[in-house]
Amino acid sequence: MPFPADINYIKEDYKWEGKILSVLTGDNRFEALKGEFVEGGSTMCDVLDKVENKGRQKGEIEAYRKTAKSLFENGASFELVIASIPDLPKDEIQKIFDEIFKK
């Protein structure tokens, strides 16, 4: 018998997963989770962990962008910014550089 928090759907019902949870919880954010459920069952904890991780990643990227912008505005070289923020892709650093210096 599955754990009570398990969400089990047959494959054809995946398109309804977010709508069902939105109706049950009154929280429309579940509709944005399309594709986050695993065939054979996902727990609410699994789904919410994925949502939290996505939010955390977005926050980290925004912090990296702010740091890169600050470094450029304070005279750091392109190479120094790349070395200082290895988790921010070079193309993203280039965009920030272009926003500041190619106005």
Q: What is the pLDDT of residue 48?
A: 77
**d(Cα 48, Cα 37) in Å, to the nearest integer?**
11
pLDDT tens-digit readout, 33-84: 666 666 556 666 777 787 788 889 999 999 999 999 999 999 999 999 999 9
* Mean pLDDT (whole number) for 13-24: 64
Give the C-alpha separation, 72 to 66, whole Å. 10
Q: Among 1, 30, 29, 3, which residue's Cα sits nearest to residue 17?
A: 30
**pLDDT score recorded for residue 1:** 47
Position 10 pLDDT exceeds 50: no
- For residues 30 and 77, which has the higher predicted lDDT (pLDDT)? 77
